[in-house]
Amino acid sequence: MRLIFEKSSPGRRGVSLPELDVPFSAVLDEKYCRKEPACLPEVSELDAVRHFSNLSRMNFSVDTNFYPLGSCTMKYNPKFTEAAAAMDEFSSLHPLLPQLLGGGMLAQGALEVLYNTEHLLCEITGMDAFSTQPLAGAHGELTGVMLVSAYHKDKGRKRKYVIVPDSSHGTNPASASIAGYDVVVVPTGKDGFMDMERYKQVLSEDVAAVMLTCPDTLGFFNPGIKEITDLAHKAGALMYYDGANLNAVLGKCRPADMGFDIMHINLHKTFATPHGGGGPGSGPVGVRGELADFLPISRVVRRDDGTFALDYSRRKTIGYIAPFYGNFGVILKAYAYMLALGKDGLIQVSENAVLSANYCLARLKEHYLPAYAKERCMHECVLSASAQLGKGVHALDIAKYLIDKGFHPPTIYFPLIVKEAMMVEPTETESKEMLDTFIEAMIEASKLAGADPDALHSAPVSMPVKRLDETAAARQPDLRWQAKSK
């Protein structure tokens, strides 16, 4: 499809502004002004509407396709939460209003949303305090690692290392590293869990924290998790819980009870806010005990008279990590979702997410090798296309074939430690019929790998484009449209 810039016609307008109702009275000195206007598209409103409506149709999305993208929890996003966030009483609220004198009083409803959300998250996870400020999961991780650092500094300790398993999300080591730590990677043992011998070897008084996902990225719940957290605490290190996989364990276990000290939650995953084509997300960070002193400011507090206020006077705080109170619109949607589901609904979420993933695993394990040959998984299962590799078929080919069948492919080539990995996260909101058609397509792909590998190699054939040359894109980057005259 042509770019909106290529549809531009000089003089066309998509929206009109009101007449200037004040005198045109001033002229800004030329030295402060740009020489030429920005070359933005010149299109009618219909041009724009048609362009973006048609672009929207060139995507797979949860609302149009099954989207079992492992690790991303692409569950259905209820519509009423969109309506909640669009309410003018919230969407038009200026974030600096609480700064005006008596200020919190101008935004009591919004502060109550934040306060209540933090408290629900505390109960769900067992943590003592939450901050909704982090703007995405990785941002929550970075905030968490900064809390680790502030905590040790406060104790007068200098610690250098953060331990992550080799199955971790890439954001874990990246967050630790940009916060100033050296990363120590512990390999996964033959049983699919972190190698305990190696873990014990690298644990020392130089270790600031251990970052884990539980269930991990392989979809396994480590029954020995308590031993891991106990060992870390013995060494004076903090335990960080990557909440990316929380959808598996709501009401089944809580990070704090397992011995984790700091965590983040991806509200957009577990609490069903739309992923927006890449974002916005929201990554509230929760802590136990005295770590609450270090949380970013401001903190939402309830006064004795029941009103809400923002507290900036926290001596040990790490400071500002976001301009205001987090991605409020996203938090509001997650809050609405939690209220609608309630206790039983949330427990049902995890039970059915785990049921659906195990069903996929049970029916696919004859056709694809399950990671570490395990029979059971939690909310997602990792399969390997290594058996198909012998026939020249890669996980990538299977993924592209699934696109032709109308399915968004699973996450592929992650975790990095599983050869030809395909990570399937069906979520609790997909029906059995949908899972069955997906499973049939996966089985078909496996059969085709033997019978007609070229059919897989040439996929997809039903999309607006065929397989794209990613190498050429990186070698000669073309990252923007340029007017021809330039």
Positions in 253-312 near another protein (CB under 8 A): 253-254, 257-258, 266, 268, 272, 274-281, 296
Scanning residues 157 to 186, which ones bind another protein (CB under 8 A)?
Answer: 169-171, 173-180, 183
Residue among 197, 304, 305, 344 that touches another protein (CB under 8 A): 344
Contact code string over 346-375 relative to another protein, x by CB under 8 A: xxxx-xx-xxx-xx-xxx------------
Measured from the CB atom, is 390 or 411 closer to another protein?
411
Measured from the CB atom, is 135 or 369 closer to another protein?
135
Q: Is 138 in the site for another protein (CB under 8 A)?
A: yes
Measured from the CB atom, is 30 or 390 closer to another protein?
30
**Beta-carbon neighbour count of residue 50 at 10 Å?**
13
Measured from the CB atom, is 157 or 450 closer to another protein?
157
Rg for the chain (alpha carbons), in Å? 25
Scanning residues 236 to 255, which ones bind another protein (CB under 8 A)?
Answer: 249, 251-254
Neighbouring residues of 165: CB distance < 8 A, sequence distance ≥ 6: 185, 186, 187, 188, 194, 212, 216
Scanning residues 311 to 340, which ones bind another protein (CB under 8 A)?
Answer: 318-330, 332, 336, 338-340
Integer Cα distance of 213 and 198 in angstroms: 18
Measured from the CB atom, is 15 or 390 closer to another protein?
15
CB of 152 to another protein, least distance (A): 10
**Token representation of residue 217:** 């990225």
Task: Outline where 273-417 has alpha helix (H).
Answer: 328-364, 386-389, 395-404
CB of 104 to another protein, least distance (A): 11
Integer Cα distance of 242 and 210 in angstroms: 10
Residue among 68, 284, 286, 409 that touches another protein (CB under 8 A): 409
Instruction: Please report which helix (H) or strand (E) contains residue 383, including its range.
Output: strand 381-384
Size of the site for another protein (CB under 8 A): 204
Q: Is 156 in the site for another protein (CB under 8 A)?
A: no
CB of 465 to another protein, least distance (A): 4
Whether 67 and 60 have beta carbons less than 8 Å apart is answered as yes
CB of 86 to another protein, least distance (A): 8
Task: Indicate the DSSP class of residue 311.
Answer: E
Q: Which stretch binds another protein (CB under 8 A): 100-108, 189-197, 231-239, 387-395?
A: 100-108
Residue type, 241: Y
Integer Cα distance of 404 and 401 in angstroms: 5
Residue among 343, 373, 440, 450 that touches another protein (CB under 8 A): 343
Q: Is 446 in the site for another protein (CB under 8 A)?
A: no
Instruction: List phi, psi (to 5°) of 138.
Output: -65, -30
| Dihedral angle computed from the Cα positions of residues 333, 336, 340 and 344, in that order, rounded to the nearest 10 degrees | 80
Integer Cα distance of 8 and 172 in angstroms: 43
Nearest to 233 by CA among 262, 209, 255, 214: 209
**Beta-carbon neighbour count of residue 197 at 10 Å?**
8
Scanning residues 190 to 219, which ones bind another protein (CB under 8 A)?
Answer: none
Query: How many residues does this entry show for the chain?
Result: 486
Contact code string over 48-77 relative to another protein, x by CB under 8 A: xx-xxxxxxxxxxxxxxx-x-x--x-xxxx
Q: Which stretch binds another protein (CB under 8 A): 132-140, 198-206, 380-388, 417-425?
A: 132-140
CB of 446 to another protein, least distance (A): 18
CB of 393 to another protein, least distance (A): 17
Q: Is 90 in the site for another protein (CB under 8 A)?
A: yes
Handedness of CA 219, 224, 230, 235 (dihedral sign): negative
Quote the longest CA-to-CA distance of the chain: 77
Residue among 118, 130, 147, 149 that touches another protein (CB under 8 A): 149
